[in-house]
Each structure stands twice: as C-alpha cells, then as structure tokens.
C-alpha cells in the first residue's frame, strides 16, 4: 500500500520542479510569467476537414503510450472547469468591407462547461447554454463553421443569464463545499479577451473568479509537455490535430461547445498520464498579476496579438484615440517570422494611465483584438536584448480587396475604415457597405448612447468613450467612477480636458488634421512641438525627431538623454 498521501505526492512534485527540470523549461516559464509571448490570443479558426495526414514515424514511440486516465493526478486543485464558447463571426475574402460581424463586436452564442474531479479526471457535471445575440446577426458563415442555426438561438437567454447559471453551479457545488478550482480553455481567447470585452460592452458585472481568473491554457500546457518530448512535432495545436497526433477520440455527438470540452478532456487525460511535474501544475493567475501591478504602482503594460507589421505611429494613434499617451514602447523581437502576431511593452507616465490602458483589453487594432495585461519594469529588465523599438514605417503591405491608401498621408487602411487611421482623412471612394450595416436587432442597454454628431447618430456601447463611427466624444464630463466590487477596478472615462499650448494650424484642434471628422483634443505637454511645415502643422510628441505626418525634422530637437523605464 502506498504510504504517500496526496499532499506528499504534490509536495514531492514541487521539489522535483525546483531541482530537476529548471534548466529545461526556464525560457518557457519566463515567457508565461513575464508575458513575453507572441502567441495570438484569438479564437481558433475553424478548419474544414479534409484528408488526414499520417503521423511522422519518429513520433510513434510517444504516441503509442495511449495511457488510461491516471488514478491520481498532480493537479493542485479539487476541480477543473473546462470552458468553451462559440461567438458570432463573419468573413468575406472578396470584399472585407462587407463583413457584418467584426472581432471587436462579436457576441457569445454558446457557452459550454464540463466539471471534472481534478484528482481522477472523472466528469462530475456538464452543461450547455445557447445565448441569443443582441447586437450582431448570425451570418451564414457563422452557421457554416459552428453548425449553430438561428432556430437554436431564437428563444435563447442572454449572456448574463448564462454567466449566472455557471456562477450558481460554482457557488452551490464548489465554493460552498470549500473546493478549490481552476478553469481550462483551449487558448486564452475565451477568458482573457472575449468574455471580459463583451461583458464590459454590455455592462455585465463578472464574478471575481471570471474577471480575474485562474486558468490552464491547453496550448501552453502542450508546450510544457513538449519540453519533455522534443522528438514530437506539432502540425498545429487545433483539437483535431492534437487528437490525430495523440490517437485520442474526438467527441462529435454533442453540441459544438460540449464536443470541444469533452475532446479537450481526452487530451488533458493523455497529457497528465505522463505525470510530468510541471504539466497542469502551474496555472495562469491573472488576479495575482493585477494585485502585484497595483501594489508596486507599475507604469508598464504588456500587449499581445499585435499585427506583425504594426508601427510606432499606429500604436500611438490607438492609445491617443482613447485619451492615453505612452512615453516609451518596446517590441519583443520576433524570432519566428511565420507567426502572424507580435507582442511588446508600453510605459506610461503615471500608474493611473497604465490602469486606464488595461481597459483597452479586447479592443481591435486594425482587425486584430489586442490583449492588454499588467506588467512591470522588472519584466522589461528580464526581457533585456529581446526588446527593440517598433518600426517607424511599415514595409509594403499587400492590398486586399477594398483596402485603400490615404490620398492625404499615404497610409494603408483596411477596407472597413471610413477614415484614415493615421490622419483621419475621409476615404474619397468608400465601398457602399462601409458603415452602412445595421444589426438585425440592436436594443439599448443601460449606459448605451447615441452619437451627438447630427451627421452620424451612431449607437455606441456604454463602455465607449468616443463614437466608434465618427470619433466624437461621449456627452458628459471627464470623471472616473469606481463601480467595482470584490476589488475589481472598472473605470469609466469622459473626454480629456481641452488642449493647451500654441494654436493649431488646422480647424480640428488635433495638429492641423482636416477631413471633416470631429477629433479629440490632445493635451500639449512640455517638449511637444508643432510641425513647421505650413501644409501640415501636426502636433508631435516630444520624443519625435521628425513629424509623424510629413517627416519634417523637429526644428528644436533637444539633446538626446538616455531613457529610463524604472522608477
């Protein structure tokens, strides 16, 4: 009879982690702990099944170890909650401007979860909930890739109702019984981008364990497992390919959400059967990250999922449109050019600005949702030589159908943009579909507002400070309201104060921008300068050596002092 208790096994596993495999996984742990990563936290793209590819011969020795579920795992929790959601989506490769649902306004239409006993991985409970979309339509493309029909959603409940059902189960069956638990998702998109962003847009107050969750990301656990099995290579980390590689069953007889959850469980059982002391042992703890961020009053945030060719100017414009001004930005030098996204760090002048920047989590830059999360100067120190500046100019980009180059500044804009992302100049020949789509139903929820610009009148979500269509500010004063519970920080921001300093050379109040679009005002700070080019007059940050818009040199360039990001 084994004399070791559960606690003895887990304690021994922790000792093995510290003593046996540190050298093997140090880079992987730094990537997770410090946010130094370039994985896209986006929804797994649907794959149309075709022919199966054979598994390489050199992988067979590991794959043949099709072990049964372990009797006792090393997972340091009582319960695992495997979570999966499906959301509205759309795609139009021939005319991107006609896309009806973007990644920034997609809505959850199915929420499924399966609860496991973490010690033996037996299923204790499973639940599937359809959710009726409120502001977007169920497109034919979405039905094609998810299999979800409108008949299933027509009489479904709300997202809040689905979250309440999940919360009720957790309260009654886990927390009341004093059980510890952790979520498991296939990728970070669900809990780190989609759910926080959509809940913020709909004024849904998430339970603290969802707003700042503990989670295992199956994709990261796969990377940990591969450290012990370098002979195994992955075609991709899709559930389909993982099942093919590990010879595991893909569940197909349930709804799409439950199929994904139950298939994920089969992969979890396979990975934990090897009993590696660092696989499904160290979860991502976003609540601990936020507490540390607040405790040290950090000025640094981390960005993930950035477009591969993003420029410094595009990032500055993205933050400026939300009333924020970063002081320094670093890109983590990409080592794998095959990946579609990059990540980086941004330094702000104050901790409050860094806190405000966290509210941009899930917002899109171009057509990509960006993950914004807490970081610190220590992380930047640890990154060291991996950090470089973002490029000032983008390389030549492939124009997709409907994309356009601004006639005013030459910037490459996506087809869906009515105004230039760089200089706000209006598209002289927009596609008929741009800005004309109206969702099948768009009811008002508490806090929503109609743009006061008479030529716009766009319906905006409550969380928006500026009109999504024309950029005009939400009516109301500039104030910060703390509506948090359980330590959550939920900022609501009004417009920043009017700009001060030299008069602008254009009617818009934003560095001489023209084009008829209402613009926000940017506070003039010491060292900022206006472009001396009479045809430009753009207001530039103090750090710029040449004009962001026309590249005219700064006439009063001060001596360059070394930049420090520590406090």
Q: Is 160 exposed, middle or buried (0-12, 13-18, 19+ CB in 10 A)?
A: middle
How does pLDDT run across 435-453, given as a tens digit for each residue?
Answer: 443 434 445 566 777 777 7
The pLDDT of residue 93: 79
Q: Which string of DSSP letters, residue by residue, matches 195-237? A: HHHHHHHTT----HHHHT-EEEEHHHHHHHHHHH-TT---S--
Terminal Cα distance for the chain, rounded: 57
Quick one: tokens of 185? 């998702």
The confidence band for 482, taking pLDDT boundaries of 50, 70 and 90, is: very low
CATH 1.10.357.10 fits 497-567, yes or no: no
Torsion-angle region of 392 (φ positive above 0: left; ψ -120 to 50: alpha; else: beta): alpha
Q: 196 with 206: CB under 8 angstroms?
A: yes
How does pLDDT run across 352-381, given as a tens digit for each residue?
Answer: 999 999 989 888 887 788 999 999 998 888
Report the distance separating Cα 516 and Cα 157, nearest Å. Answer: 42
Domain ranges across the chain? 6-286, 303-388, 497-567
Domain 6-286, CATH among 3.30.390.50, 3.30.420.10, 1.10.3720.10, 3.40.190.10: 3.30.420.10
Helix, strand, coil abundance in the chain, percent, nearest 5? 25, 15, 55
Q: 304 with 373: CB under 8 angstroms?
A: yes
pLDDT above 90 covers a percentage of the chain that reads 41
Q: Which residues contact 137 (CB under 8 A, 6 or more apart)?
A: 88, 100, 101, 439, 440
pLDDT above 70 covers a percentage of the chain that reads 67
pLDDT score of 21 more than 70: no
The pLDDT of residue 536: 67
For residues 563 and 308, the model is more confident at: 308
Q: 360 with 326: CB under 8 angstroms?
A: no
How does pLDDT run across 193-214, given as a tens digit for each residue?
Answer: 999 999 999 999 999 999 989 9
Report the distance separating Cα 65 and Cα 303, nearest Å. Answer: 39
pLDDT score of 510 more than 50: no
The pLDDT of residue 2: 46
Chain mean pLDDT for the chain: 75
The three-class DSSP label of residue 183 is strand
The pLDDT of residue 242: 94
Q: Fold match between 303-388 and 497-567?
A: no
For residues 483 and 78, the model is more confident at: 78
The single-letter DSSP state of residue 480 is B
Q: Which fold has domain 303-388?
A: Alpha-Beta Plaits (3.30.70)
Report the distance separating Cα 254 and Cα 257, nearest Å. Answer: 8
How does pLDDT run across 104-149, given as a tens digit for each residue?
Answer: 899 999 999 999 999 999 999 999 999 999 999 999 999 999 999 9
The pLDDT of residue 409: 66
The pLDDT of residue 432: 58
For residues 368 and 538, the model is more confident at: 368
Which pTM does this prediction carry? 0.61
Three-state helix/strand/coil letters over 338-398: CCCEEEEEEECCCHHHHHHHHCCCCCEECCEECEEEECCHHHHHHHHHHEECCCCCCCCCC
pLDDT score of 43 more than 80: no
Among 25-39, 190-204, 289-303, 530-544, name the one with the lowest average pLDDT.
Answer: 25-39
The confidence band for 527, taking pLDDT boundaries of 50, 70 and 90, is: confident
The confidence band for 542, taking pLDDT boundaries of 50, 70 and 90, is: confident
For residues 169 and 320, the model is more confident at: 169
């Amino acid at each position: 009879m084994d004399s070791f208790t559960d606690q003895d096994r887990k304690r021994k596993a922790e000792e093995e982690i510290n003593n046996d495999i540190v050298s093997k996984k140090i880079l992987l742990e730094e990537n997770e702990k410090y946010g130094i990563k370039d994985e896209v936290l986006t929804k797994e793209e649907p794959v149309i099944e075709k022919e199966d590819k054979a598994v390489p011969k050199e992988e067979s020795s590991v794959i043949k170890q099709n072990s049964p579920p372990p009797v006792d795992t090393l997972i340091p929790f009582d319960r695992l909650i495997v979570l999966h959601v499906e959301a509205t989506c759309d795609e139009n490769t021939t005319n991107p401007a006609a896309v009806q649902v973007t990644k920034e306004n997609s809505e959850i239409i199915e929420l499924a979860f399966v609860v496991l006993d973490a010690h033996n991985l037996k299923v204790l409970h499973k639940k599937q909930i359809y959710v009726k979309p409120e502001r977007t339509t169920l497109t034919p493309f979405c039905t094609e890739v998810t299999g979800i029909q409108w008949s299933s959603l027509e009489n479904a409940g709300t997202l809040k109702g689905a979250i309440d059902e999940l919360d009720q189960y957790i309260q009654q069956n886990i927390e009341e019984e004093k059980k510890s638990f952790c979520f498991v998702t296939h990728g970070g998109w669900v809990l780190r981008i989609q759910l926080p962003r959509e809940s913020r847009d709909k004024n849904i107050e998430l339970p603290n364990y969802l707003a700042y969750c503990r989670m295992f990301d199956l994709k990261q656990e796969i990377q940990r497992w591969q450290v012990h099995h370098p002979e195994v290579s992955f075609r991709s980390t899709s559930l389909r390919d993982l099942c093919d590689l590990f010879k595991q069953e893909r569940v197909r007889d349930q709804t799409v959400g439950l199929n994904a959850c139950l298939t994920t469980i089969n992969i979890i059982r396979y990975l934990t059967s090897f009993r590696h002391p660092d696989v499904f042992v160290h979860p991502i703890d976003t609540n601990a990250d936020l507490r540390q961020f607040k405790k040290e009053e950090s000025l640094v945030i981390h960005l993930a999922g950035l477009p591969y060719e993003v420029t410094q100017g595009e990032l500055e414009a993205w933050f400026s449109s939300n009333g924020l001004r970063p002081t320094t930005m670093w890109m983590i030098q990409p080592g794998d050019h095959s990946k579609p996204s990059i990540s980086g760090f941004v330094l702000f002048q104050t901790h409050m600005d860094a806190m405000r920047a966290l509210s941009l989590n899930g917002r899109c830059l171009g057509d990509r949702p960006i993950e914004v999360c807490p970081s610190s100067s220590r992380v930047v120190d640890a990154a060291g030589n991996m950090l470089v500046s973002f490029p000032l100019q983008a390389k030549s980009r492939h124009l997709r159908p409907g994309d356009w180059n601004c006639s005013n500044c030459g910037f490459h804009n996506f087809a869906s943009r009515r105004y230039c992302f760089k200089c706000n100049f209006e598209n002289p020949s927009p596609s008929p579909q741009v800005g004309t789509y109206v969702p099948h139903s768009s009811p008002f929820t508490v806090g929503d507002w109609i743009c006061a610009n008479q030529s716009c009148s766009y319906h905006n979500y409550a969380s928006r400070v500026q009109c999504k269509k024309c950029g005009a500010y939400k009516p109301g004063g500039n104030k910060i309201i703390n509506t948090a519970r359980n330590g959550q920080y939920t900022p609501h921001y009004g417009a920043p104060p009017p700009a001060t300093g030299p008069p602008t050379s254009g009617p818009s109040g934003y560095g001489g921008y023209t084009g008829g679009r209402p613009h926000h005002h940017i506070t003039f700070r010491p060292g900022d300068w206006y472009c001396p080019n009479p045809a430009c007059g753009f207001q530039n940050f103090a750090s710029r050596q040449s004009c962001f818009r026309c590249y005219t040199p700064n006439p009063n360039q001060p001596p360059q002092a070394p930049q420090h990001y520590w406090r």
